[in-house]
Structure 1
């Protein structure tokens, strides 16, 4: 008889809903942004923990009494240093509107006299924690001080965020989360109770903000042309007209953000969206929906709308087609309409601007029988703001689900690019031009191929990797051999996970023996680098996010060297601009030794001779002006994302999310040259998987040349006979080659040059475009032009 065995211990598991549920009861988490202040009210016995996530970031902690007065012994630490961030508040552009400053002034406190206890310091390790205990009720203010990072210093330490954790001595009974403060003084500020609706009128130009109070709660929105209603004609949001003009299932901030009525009149425009996941023109819930599921007499949005709209003479309907904010629906691969719990979190909102005078109605959906409201209907909040206020267009981004939302930003060069075009798109958290008015994509393209072009590439994510363990960390995290990198040299590399899939591509700059600059495409990569440092036990390395301290433009094209030759000054300790060879950089200034500090690298994303110029965002307009003045005699033009896409496909340069993702390895992505398995002896993340993948390749990135004049598109299937053997990753019409070309991830059995394949359209079988595997890069395959 076998001996009894101990049953395995199964770890407890719970739903992971970041932003909606507290991970630990009684624990609250707050973020302190770089250069900012966060205030939280505490009670006796509460524990306050301050975390330096990225390291090397001082924290300034100031304690006040419950009425805002100074409190010396509240936290048991001595506030013996000036509270520099609080003292600087009066100089902020927000003035008295700053909520922290307003609180201090309201209690008769002079910010210039406040003092703080300093935590952490110049060399505090990443993840450092300090825990304090409140002896009595009061207010704790935590600041993350810091100024601009000097671009021309190799030892830069950009300010970074802090995390503030509060563990309550007496966990509070679950309360409705506090709403974010109004964006401005509201004209209308009203709560729409759960399972109700509310009608209201707004004037042309006014802003409508619909907020999800507790998260995961749908809100239907209706809008009618008010002057038409007065004439007895009903003109409301129309699904067909909106989708026809916008080309999107759900309009979003930017060029494609308007909702139209059946007369093709734009009624509202989306200005901000912190969720990015909604349904559009699905019916508001109605009597028939509930009856068909066996719930008779269930309250519903349609009946609530009919009641609210009756005073305006609007005819009742059995089901109202509505803008369904926060409602999470999609069509699956079988064209079935499916839905799940909303993505929205407490305080998430959509901000709209009225194009004409409107009659509106907003609901807090009563659906409690399915995931539409996570089975628990809650409130919606509504605010209306004056047309005199101006709000930036933005969407929200989070590098991880736990991060606070960051709204779309302008780059340091936006004041100049916005003067040249209205064609902008949201790209990785920033607004970038797609093309320029008065030129257009093809004109911009030829300028880069024949003369020169300047483009804004500021959304690239920058991280300062600093400290004695910096080289070891990068050697373990990127595929290239960083140990061979010289000072003033950069290298292009892949970044892989344990299975060999690419999580990012990057360039690594070596500024000094222990100082590197990592430039990638994904903000999460910085978090991943810090996680790897912790896993490897590398406690003398800091990964500091520096994107907000360094924006960049690229000057690309045959004339780029001559344009910049007289513009870039370098000290004797740095390489002269004219001596820069491919993938080298220098640190200098514009004009002379008194000019704007810049980093200039001989690199780019166009397949042409070119350079990238990095500067502080505050210097962006001046740098653009200097480059523009130098380039005008050469016929230089600005270049947008549409032209850049043609350039990079012709040159065989890959793009994240199209040509690679985290289950595509560098060999399959066409950048196998970044994986020196024979010459890099040190281990790195994904090495074992890449050895196996290289030995048994399944797919390869190849170039396709298509017959005829029809272009392929990302995701098109590629066939040999009946069966699919590949997929188009990127495609374009090449102006210089006068051919339709595509990058394709193809089964190795069909990847030889000259192989005949077909690109599938429609369902992949009813229409096929003949194509042939050709050598790529399509343009300048030996890269002689960027090396020139």
Structure 2
């Protein structure tokens, strides 16, 4: 910190050295203050292969595959199955392969993720026992080192980051592998199937854009709201079922929720509940793979589209009214709702603005019902702004 040095001469203060005080100088910051999201070129997809886990991706002949050893010293294994379920190292442009021990090690486990992977591969009649893999030892790799391959056939690519739990006296923890797929046909529209269920669902419903669905969730049950294709908003509302039986409407109140959790929306942890206007907890957030949602705006309305020059546009509020009629819930011109995956922010002028959602294919919110509920979900049809990245897609609901 700059200081003022004062000398005393004959009882008179004399200024020997003076510099401008820091708090009188304008603040100067170098570099980027708020970095933006990294963007990938068109046709390039990014996947994270968790240490000890795997990722399954559909590839086409000619697609370029790049593996990045994020932290270094992490082995990787690639298996490319053709449409008949067989695999060869030659499918990845390699002359030598070996048994897919990493894949078999993961499948031999009893974890939920291992069971999901086994179910996924079984659906495609894949020969796991005789699978031939390309193994990358990476025994001396540095953080960020890359390996590149090219798909010689179309099929299903499985990438694993094999490894065992680290011993207390060792220094070999498993770490993540970053997988990039550069599509040979980047303009081809790819329809992503819903990810494997977290558990065997009681209800498994797909909502197409421009539609809404009502469904019952009992106390203690879990509801998963999944963005299947990525960057799609889903309005959500839940009513206390027993209150409805008594002609009372106890639904999620966004204002009450924000006040009680002290945040824009609940997140997993201590402040994780959605509340009704009478301050009764209705749902608890268990997992949230996105962390960016909206609780301020209404579900999209007919008036919004009319004001934007699109009269008669299908909208979430009207769709919710149609579903709510079966439960004798009065119509609302605009529904206060939790808009999952809707990316809104406040700017410096206190205006609310939006941008493309952060959600990627398969991202989801998992909640636990704290009482018997009737829930409503939509797949937003908005195609006139960034709300759904200009391209409405489907939402998957699982209970």
Category of TM-score, reference length = shorter chain: 0.7 to 0.9
- TM-score, reference length from structure 1: 0.42
1:69 aligns with 86
Distance in 1 of aligned mates of 2:159 and 2:255: 51
Structure 1 segment 129-168 matched on structure 2, within 5 A:
129-152=146-169, 156-168=171-183
Q: Structure 1's 78 and 363: CA in aligned 2 closer, same or farther, altered over 3 A?
A: same
Query: Is the counterpart of residue 377 in structure 1 residue 395 in structure 2?
Result: no
2:225 aligned with 1:232 = no
Task: Verify the 8 A CA contact 1:37 1:85 in the aligned structure 2.
Answer: no
* Aligned twin of 1:349: 364
Aligned-pair distance for 1:286? 2.2
* Pairing 1:59–2:88 present: no
Which residue of 190, 203, 209 corresponds with 2:205? Answer: 190
Residue 215, structure 1, aligned to residue 230, structure 2? yes
What is the aligned counterpart of 2:285 among 270, 281, 292?
A: 270
| Aligned partner (choices 78, 84, 106) of residue 101 of structure 2 | 84
Q: Report if aligned partners of 2:120, 2:196 keep a CA contact under 8 Å in 1.
A: no
Superposed, 1:557-596 pairs within 5 Å as none
SS at match of 2:88: coil
Mapping for residues 249-260 of structure 1, pairs under 5 Å: 249-260=264-275
1:324 paired residue number: 339
5 Å-filtered alignment, 1:247-646, equals: 247-384=262-399
Alpha-carbon shift at residue 281 of structure 1 (Å):
4.8
Match for residue 175 of structure 1 among 180, 190, 193: 190
> Contact (CA 8 Å) 2:68, 2:144: kept in 1 or not?
yes
Secondary structure of 1:179's aligned partner: coil
Distance 2:306 2:134 in 1: 63
Could you say if the C-alpha distance between residues 108 and 315 of structure 1 is closer, same or farther in structure 2, counting changes exceeding 3 Å? closer
Contact 1:89/1:95 (CA < 8 Å) preserved in 2? no
Residue in 1 aligned with 2:50? Answer: 33
Checking the alignment, whether the CA contact within 8 Å between 1:62 and 1:79 is kept in structure 2 is: no
Contact 1:79 1:115 in 2 (8 A): no
Report the counterpart of residue 136 of structure 2 in structure 1: 119
Unaligned runs of 5+ in 2: 1-35
Distance 1:115 1:356, change over 3 A: same
CA positional deviation for 1:313: 0.8
CA apart distance, 1:353: 1.6
Counterpart Cα distance in 1 of 2:387 and 2:159 = 38
For residues 140-167 of structure 1, what are the alpha-carbon distances to aligned partners after superposition, in whole Å with 9 as ceiling and x for unaligned?
44333333444445xx343333333444
The one-character-per-residue Cα deviations of 1:156-186 (angstroms, maximum 9, x if unpaired) are 3433333334444555611233432221122
* C-alpha distance in 2 between matches for 1:116 and 1:309: 52
Please say if residues 237 and 375 of structure 2, whose CA atoms lie closer than 8 Å, have aligned partners that are also in contact.
Answer: yes
1-structure distance, mates of 2:46, 2:352:
37
Distance 1:229 1:183, change over 3 A: same
Quick one: structure 1 residues 280 and 83, their matched pair in 2 at CA, closer, same or farther if it must change by over 3 Å? same
Task: Kindly state the Cα deviation for residue 76 of structure 1 after the two structures are TM-superposed.
Answer: 4.5
1:328–1:372 Cα contact (<8 Å) kept: yes
SS in 1 for 2:91: coil
Are residues 36 and 296 of structure 1, via their aligned partners in 2, closer, same or farther at CA, if it must alter by over 3 Å? Answer: closer
1:23 aligns with 2:38: no
1:89–1:101: 8 Å Cα contact kept in structure 2? no
Higher relative contact order (CA 8 A, sep 6+): 2
The structure with the largest alpha-carbon Rg is 1
Q: Scaled by the length of structure 2, what TM-score is found? A: 0.78
Q: CA 1:219/1:157 → structure 2, altered by over 3 Å: closer, same or farther?
A: same
Shift of 1:314: 0.9
Identify if the C-alpha distance between structure 1 residues 140 and 291 changes in structure 2 by more than 3 Å, giving closer, same or farther.
closer
Call closer, same or farther: CA 1:240–1:177 in 2, change over 3 Å: same
**Structure 1 residues 137 and 151, CA gap change in structure 2 (3 angstroms):** same
Residue 256 (structure 2) aligns with: 241
CA RMSD of aligned residues (A): 3.2
Alignment of 1:92-111 (within 5 A): 92-94=109-111, 97-102=114-119, 107=125, 109=127, 111=129
Cα distance between partner residues in 2 of 1:290 and 1:76: 52
Contact 1:96–1:102, Cα closer than 8 Å, also in 2: no
Q: Deviation digits for residues 696-722 of structure 1, max 9, x if unmatched?
A: xxxxxxxxxxxxxxxxxxxxxxxxxxx
Q: Distance in 2 between matches of 1:176 and 1:17?
A: 24
Q: Which has the higher helix share?
A: 1
Aligned equivalents of 1:145, 1:239: Cα separation in 2: 44
SS of 1:319's equivalent in the other structure is coil
Shift of 1:101: 3.8
8 A Cα contact 1:46 1:167, kept in partner: yes
Q: Cα distance, 1:17 vs. partner?
A: 6.3
CA contact (8 A) 2:273 2:283 kept: yes
In 1, Cα distance between equivalents of 2:207 and 2:173? 43
Q: In 1, are the aligned partners of 2:116 and 2:196 still within 8 Å (CA)? A: no
Distance change in 2, residues 1:368/1:76 (3 Å):
closer
Q: Report how many aligned residue pairs link the two structures.
A: 363
CA separation of 1:200/1:281 partners in 2, compared to 1, >3 Å: closer, same or farther? farther
Q: Distance in 2 between matches of 1:91 and 1:304?
A: 45
Q: Structure 2 vs 1, CA of residues 62 and 321 (structure 1 numbering), >3 Å: closer, same or farther?
A: closer
Counterpart Cα distance in 2 of 1:96 and 1:364: 27
